[in-house]
Amino acid sequence: MNIIEELNWRGLVKQITNEEKLLNAQNENRGVYCGFDPTADSLHVGHLIPIILLERFRRVGFQPIALLGGGTGMIGDPSFKSAERVLQTNEQVDKNVLGIETQLRRLIPNVDFQNNAKWLRKLSLIDFLRDVGKNFTLGYLLAKESIATRIETGLSVTEFAYTMLQGYDFYQLYTTSNCFVQIGGSDQWGNITSGIDYIGTQIGRENSGACGLTIKLLAKKDGKKFGKSESGAVWLDSQKTSEYDFYQFWLNQDDEDCEQMLKFITFLNESEINEVIHQHNQNPSARILQKKLAEEVTKFVHGEEGYIKALKLTEAFFNGELINLNKELFEIALTSIPSLELIGQTTAIDAIVAVGAATSKREAREFINANAISFNNSIISDENELIEKTSPINKKYIVVRRGKKKYYVIKLK
């Protein structure tokens, strides 16, 4: 399969430095790398496109390399950022690198892990200036859009040097790991070309097979940034974002965004995607697009087991059967529900207001009179009943349900 044709029909390609070199690299089973900045100990859904892109390259014959920024993470990539990043300690960067490596090992088979701390942390300033900086002119660097856009607002010498460090990374992988291709988001074009140009100065431009490819950033139709939910980032770590919340994130995408997402972040082929779109158009209310998207991405990140957990929790929330879940699934469900700790002597009406199920006692009484409030599936009729009278789940939890879909949790002190 021609990697360029595969990426083109999906609408992923933004720029390619040299198509001939890219196809030669595919035919020769060369390495391809993507860098991951260790700003946290987990990646989030915004990283899914480059992760899946690396896996697409693997499936057509490339050797995938995940470069973890244990060295560059000490600085932070300034590309198209409005302000300088807060610097992290060595210990925090190393912790983040370990967390990201653990995730990627699960997602990409046979991936080769490299950490640029291996060569950057032992590179002296004098060596860097002589061996790397000497090959970059000031005019060349100032012409980089990622640098030019920050000049007026302020760019430190530290961040100014970042693109040279990333160029040196590509050179290291090219010379030691048979890596001829670097891939990344469209914001990485300047850094990728820095690497290609630096490799050319070291081994000769005519001899270099180095090339790069950038992909389009996934933009939602409503203008909102992809990867964010109302509660913040959607993480790939189930301890930070549960399998249920992860699944729901995809299930709640708009129809107009789903087709592009299916192309960008699933491995469904063109005919399979067209069939899903056709089925969805036949019955839009069934949300077939969203369900297929949520299924494919949840299985990729959390496996079949995680997908089944998400389905069971979705069904339990919909049918009001949370209290019947096993202990593991119930604990997962709790992470998705607003909760509050109260003493057992709190009255029902006070608890309803305190937990947020009603905005006032007057509104709480209206809900109670309409039989719209239940504690652990028991309808509340007496506003003065103490919450300790309700049989707590695991002697600790009371699930407050308002109507069919609003849930809250009381934790007994």
CA distance 41 to 38: 7
The answer to whether 217 and 188 are in contact (CB under 8 A) is no
Residue 162 among known ligand-binding residues? yes
The values of phi and psi at residue 121, to 5°, are -70, -20
CA distance 64 to 13: 18
* Selection from 70, 164, 162 nearest residue 118 by Cα: 70
The answer to whether 12 and 56 are in contact (CB under 8 A) is no
Sole residue written with tokens 């103490």: 386
Residue 408 among known ligand-binding residues? no
* Selection from 160, 220, 167 nearest residue 189 by Cα: 167
Residue 228 among known ligand-binding residues? yes
Distances (CA, A) of 154 to 72, 151, 190, 237: 19, 5, 18, 34
Alpha helices in 241-375 (DSSP H): 243-251, 255-265, 270-282, 288-319, 327-334, 348-355, 361-369
Residue 263: both structure tokens together: 């192309």
The answer to whether 290 and 251 are in contact (CB under 8 A) is yes
Beta bridge partners of 399: 409
Residue 407 among known ligand-binding residues? no
* Selection from 108, 109, 2 nearest residue 47 by Cα: 108
Would you list which residues are annotated within the binding site for L-tyrosine?
33, 162, 166
Would you list which residues are annotated within the binding site?
33, 162, 166, 228
Would you list which residues are annotated within the binding site for ATP?
228
